[in-house]
Amino acid sequence: MNTHPYSNAEHWRVWRRAVANPAPADVDPVVAFPFRISPEDRVVTAGSCFAQHIARHLRSRGFNYLIAEPAHKLLDRHTAEIFNYGIYSARYGNIYSARQLLQLFQRAYGMFVPLEAPWEEAGALFDPFRPLIQPGGFASRAEFKVDQEQHFAAVRRAFRELDVFVFTLGLTECWESTLDGAVFPICPGTSHGQFNSNLYALRNLSVEENIADLRQFITLLHRTNPSARVMLTVSPVPLIATAEATHVLAATTYSKSVLRVAAEIVSKIDHVAYFPSYEIITGAYARGHYFGEDCRSVTEAGVEHVMRIFFRHATSNPAERDSVPTEVEQRSFDGGRGIVQVICEEESHDQPL
């Protein structure tokens, strides 16, 4: 009998044994993860709206989730979340692109000062780079400035003190200032501000641009925090809308493909790893059960599958590593599709006329 590269292949190399035959909740696409997160490690998260699920599960399972910008003690939890406290490690809102992440670091450390002024609306001011973190806006420029300085201090603390940084890449499309290249989380004018085609332009970041932005960010992070470990994920959530002259389904496929390739290449850097949350949610084996009726929102069962694999392979807690599929996962395949709501600025791109 002839031997060949597929002879005696491990089960995870063969689709039938790794994907088709196992029960859906048992599919585990992680072969080996290069580092473990201990309960003592200070973890910071950022990224697109899917990243909020990772933060929620880290906190609920007792991991050391670093909150560098806490809410005032007098604020109740619901109000604090409305003002974006505790959603992420700092009050930066969703960071959809690698360039937005890079520029956040640069702005926090004074390396880049965008020309864009606060957006004025009905006597209030809104932060162009955090347009939805302050319901009703800031009352004055002085209040805006104080909050911005406090925020940047919190961002610097988060990057300086973290042990592990988990970043979820969400989009390749972004809107940038034609004056200095500053990128915004959402298109100006969709929630606040006024759109002006002379001031704002669409940029659809390429594989090369995403790789360059991620590499530059990681270099800057390691200069500040040499021992930092970075985990990259790709959000499985489809684009809510595209500004390109193409179908949103094709635009989503392009965007996620670019991000997946960029994450794979950058994960070759020491102390950087890729975790396949995208594959767990979108894999054909799930037969769409990990998406809600809108074919976009990720179900809680899907999130729990991702996090079960995450804690099994990427943490040092034996109890978490040995966890089994939950009842909510089984209910998903039996027809239930519970959705956990997240804060998503991108929804501003799909407003009823």
Rounded to two decimals, the pTM is 0.90
Domains of the chain by residue range: 35-349
Number of H helices, E strands in the chain: 11, 9
- 69-78, 157-166, 187-196, 313-322: which has the minimum mean pLDDT? 313-322
Token pair 């975790």 is found at: 275
Amino acid identity of residue 155, one-letter, is V
In tens, the pLDDT along 290-310 reads 999 999 999 999 999 999 999
In angstroms, the CA 241 to CA 235 distance is: 15
In tens, the pLDDT along 249-261 reads 999 999 999 999 9
- 199-213, 258-272, 327-341: which has the minimum mean pLDDT? 327-341
Token pair of 71, please?
Answer: 């809410």
- Judge whether 236 and 286 are in contact, CB under 8 Å: no
